[in-house]
Chains A and B, each alone.
Chain A
Amino acid sequence: MQTHQYDVVIVGAGGAGMRAALEASKEARTAVISKLYPTRSHTGAAQGGMCAALANVEEDNWEWHTFDTIKGGDYLVDQDAAEIMAKEAIDAVLDLERMGLPFNRTPEGKIDQRRFGGHTRNHGEAAVRRACYAADRTGHMILQTLYQNCVKQDVEFFNEFYVLDLLTDHDLTTEQIADGEEVNATGVVAYDLATGEIHVFQAKAIIFATGGAGKIFKTTSNAHTLTGDGMALAYRRGLPLEDMEFFQFHPTGLAGLGILLSEAARGEGGILRNSEGERFMERYAPTIKDLAPRDIVARSMANEVREGRGAGPDKDYVLLDLTHLEPAHIDAKLPDITEFARTYLGIEPYTEPVPVYPTAHYAMGGVPTNVDGEVLRDSRNVVRGLYAAGEVACVSVHGSNRLGTNSLLDINVFGKRAGRSAAAYAKTVGRHKELPEKPAARVVEQLEEMRNRPDGERVADVRRALQETMDANAQVFRTAESLNQALADIRGLQKRYRNVSVQDKGRLFNTDLLEAIELGFLLDIAEVTVVTALNRKESRGGHYREDHPQRDDANYMLHTMAYRRPTSAPDVADGTVKGYFDHVEEFDGYKVVLGSKPVTQTRYEPMERKY
Chain B
Amino acid sequence: MTAVLENHATESTETEAGAVPSFEVTLRIRRYNPESAHGDQAVWEEFTVTAHGTDRVLDALHKIKWELDGSLTFRRSCAHGICGSDAMRINGRNRLACKTLLKDVNPDKPITVEPIKGLPVVKDLVVDMEPFFASYREIMPFLITSGNEPSRERIQSPEDRARFDDTTKCILCAACTSSCPVFWTDGQYFGPAAIVNAHRFIFDSRDEGAVQRLEILNDKEGVWRCRTTFNCTEACPRGIEVTKAIQEVKRAMITRAF
- Expressed in whole angstroms, the minimum distance between the Cβ of B166 and any Cβ of chain A is 11
Could you give 25 example pairs across A and B, Cβ below 8 Å? Answer: A39-B84, A39-B171, A40-B75, A40-B77, A44-B82, A44-B83, A98-B143, A98-B150, A100-B142, A102-B204, A105-B156, A109-B158, A110-B155, A137-B168, A148-B142, A256-B54, A259-B80, A340-B80, A344-B54, A458-B67, A459-B66, A460-B65, A460-B66, A508-B33, A508-B34
Which B residues touch A144, using CB under 8 A?
168, 170
Assuming the contacts A39-B172, A44-B171, A99-B143, asked whether A343 and B81 have C-beta atoms less than 8 A apart, the reply is: yes
Annotate A507-522 by CB proximity to B: 1 below 8 A, 0 otherwise.
1111110000000000
Residue of A nearest to B206 (CB): A100
Tell me if B141 counts as interface (CB < 8 A to partner A): yes
Residue of A nearest to B79 (CB): A224
Tell me if B1 counts as interface (CB < 8 A to partner A): no
Annotate B123-161 by CB proximity to A: 1 below 8 A, 0 otherwise.
100100100010001001111000001101111111011
The complex places the Cα of A352 from the Cα of B159 at a distance, in Å, of: 31
Residue of B76, B79, B82, B143 touching A148 (CB-CB under 8 A): B143
Additional pairs, 18, CB under 8 Å, beyond known A313-B19, A343-B99, A512-B70: A37-B172, A39-B84, A40-B75, A40-B77, A45-B83, A98-B149, A100-B142, A102-B164, A109-B158, A148-B141, A148-B142, A151-B137, A194-B122, A256-B54, A257-B54, A459-B66, A460-B66, A511-B73
The complex places the Cα of A94 from the Cα of B152 at a distance, in Å, of: 6
Most buried by B among A100, A107, A134, A223: A100
Residue of A37, A151, A344 touching B141 (CB-CB under 8 A): A151
Annotate A276-314 by CB proximity to B: 1 below 8 A, 0 otherwise.
000000000000000000000000000000000000011
Once the chains bind, are A223 and B161 in contact (CB under 8 Å)? no
Most buried by A among B77, B140, B204: B77
Which B residues touch A100, using CB under 8 A?
142-143, 201, 204, 206-207
Once the chains bind, are A506 and B33 in contact (CB under 8 Å)? yes
Once the chains bind, are B99 and A102 in contact (CB under 8 Å)? no
Annotate B54-90 by CB proximity to A: 1 below 8 A, 0 otherwise.
1000000000011101110111111111111100000
**Contact residues, B166-211 vs A (CB, 8 A):** 168-172, 201, 204, 206-207
Tell me if A104 counts as interface (CB < 8 A to partner B): yes
Tell me if A495 counts as interface (CB < 8 A to partner B): no
The complex places the Cα of A107 from the Cα of B204 at a distance, in Å, of: 17
Ranked 7 nearest A-B pairs via Cβ: A100-B143, A460-B66, A503-B70, A109-B155, A504-B71, A512-B70, A152-B142
Tell me if B35 counts as interface (CB < 8 A to partner A): yes
Tell me if B165 counts as interface (CB < 8 A to partner A): yes
Annotate A34-67 by CB proximity to B: 1 below 8 A, 0 otherwise.
0011011110110000000000000000000000
Tell me if A567 counts as interface (CB < 8 A to partner B): no
The complex places the Cα of A508 from the Cα of B94 at a distance, in Å, of: 25
Most buried by A among B33, B137, B140, B141: B141
Assuming the contacts A503-B71, A512-B70, asked whether A37 and B129 have C-beta atoms less than 8 A apart, the reply is: yes
Most buried by B among A39, A40, A144, A148: A40
The complex places the Cα of A308 from the Cα of B77 at a distance, in Å, of: 35
- Expressed in whole angstroms, the minimum distance between the Cβ of A63 and any Cβ of chain B is 20
Once the chains bind, are A149 and B142 in contact (CB under 8 Å)? yes
Once the chains bind, are A223 and B77 in contact (CB under 8 Å)? yes
Tell me if A225 counts as interface (CB < 8 A to partner B): yes
Which A residues touch B149, using CB under 8 A?
98
Which A residues touch B156, using CB under 8 A?
105, 109
Residue of A44, A97, A152 touching B154 (CB-CB under 8 A): A97
Number of interface residues of B (CB under 8 A): 60
Which A residues touch B164, using CB under 8 A?
102
Q: Which residues of A contact B (CB under 8 A)?
A: 36-37, 39-42, 44-45, 93-94, 97-100, 102-111, 134, 137, 140-141, 144, 148-149, 151-152, 194, 223-225, 256-257, 259, 313-314, 336, 340, 343-345, 458-460, 502-504, 506-512
Assuming the contacts A110-B153, A506-B35, asked whether A224 and B77 have C-beta atoms less than 8 A apart, the reply is: yes
The complex places the Cα of A110 from the Cα of B122 at a distance, in Å, of: 46
Most buried by A among B73, B74, B142: B142
Which A residues touch B157, using CB under 8 A?
105, 107, 109
Residue of B nearest to A254 (CB): B80
Q: Which residues of B contact A (CB under 8 A)?
A: 17, 19, 33-36, 54, 65-67, 69-71, 73-85, 99, 101, 122-123, 126, 129, 133, 137, 140-143, 149-150, 152-158, 160-161, 164-165, 168-172, 201, 204, 206-207
Once the chains bind, are A224 and B76 in contact (CB under 8 Å)? yes
Once the chains bind, are A105 and B83 in contact (CB under 8 Å)? no
- Expressed in whole angstroms, the minimum distance between the Cβ of B32 and any Cβ of chain A is 11
- Expressed in whole angstroms, the minimum distance between the Cβ of B157 and any Cβ of chain A is 5
The complex places the Cα of A40 from the Cα of B54 at a distance, in Å, of: 24
The complex places the Cα of A203 from the Cα of B157 at a distance, in Å, of: 45
- Expressed in whole angstroms, the minimum distance between the Cβ of A43 and any Cβ of chain B is 10
The complex places the Cα of A37 from the Cα of B140 at a distance, in Å, of: 18
Residue of B nearest to A41 (CB): B83
Residue of A nearest to B54 (CB): A344
The complex places the Cα of A504 from the Cα of B36 at a distance, in Å, of: 10
Which B residues touch A108, using CB under 8 A?
155
Once the chains bind, are B73 and A94 in contact (CB under 8 Å)? no
The complex places the Cα of A22 from the Cα of B4 at a distance, in Å, of: 50
Residue of B nearest to A154 (CB): B137
Residue of A nearest to B18 (CB): A313
Residue of B17, B69, B84, B204 touching A503 (CB-CB under 8 A): B69
Once the chains bind, are B77 and A36 in contact (CB under 8 Å)? yes
Once the chains bind, are A45 and B80 in contact (CB under 8 Å)? yes
Residue of B101, B133, B143 touching A37 (CB-CB under 8 A): B133
The complex places the Cα of A171 from the Cα of B17 at a distance, in Å, of: 54
The complex places the Cα of A151 from the Cα of B136 at a distance, in Å, of: 10
Which B residues touch A141, using CB under 8 A?
168
Residue of B nearest to A468 (CB): B10
Once the chains bind, are A44 and B78 in contact (CB under 8 Å)? yes
Assuming the contacts A94-B153, A140-B171, asked whether A508 and B123 have C-beta atoms less than 8 A apart, the reply is: yes
Which A residues touch B65, using CB under 8 A?
460, 511-512
- Expressed in whole angstroms, the minimum distance between the Cβ of A100 and any Cβ of chain B is 3
The complex places the Cα of A98 from the Cα of B122 at a distance, in Å, of: 38
Which A residues touch B79, using CB under 8 A?
223-224
Assuming the contacts A100-B206, A137-B169, A508-B34, asked whether A45 and B82 have C-beta atoms less than 8 A apart, the reply is: yes
The complex places the Cα of A91 from the Cα of B65 at a distance, in Å, of: 46
Once the chains bind, are A223 and B78 in contact (CB under 8 Å)? yes
Which A residues touch B201, using CB under 8 A?
100
Which A residues touch B54, using CB under 8 A?
256-257, 344-345
Which B residues touch A194, using CB under 8 A?
122
